[in-house]
Amino acid sequence: MSQHTYRVTEIVGTSEEGIDAAIRNGIARASETLHNLDWFE
């Protein structure tokens, strides 16, 4: 059985335009320093 370790990072994006823009802003900023960012909840 394979063993995996994952990091959980909390990211909060903000925007005056709405929640979709806030999510995009948060992911865009996080992707500058977090590599292989491919999933969010």
In Å, how far from its chain's centre is CA 9? Answer: 8
* pLDDT in the model for residue 15: 97
Q: How confident is the model at residue 10 (pLDDT cuts 50, 70, 90)?
A: very high
Measure the CA–CA gap between 29 and 40, rounded to whole angstroms.
14
Q: Evaluate if residue 38 carries a pLDDT over 80.
A: no
pTM above 0.85, yes or no: no
pLDDT higher than 90, residue 29: yes
Q: Are 16 and 26 in contact (CB under 8 A)?
A: no
Question: Mean pLDDT, to the nearest integer, of 19-39?
Answer: 90
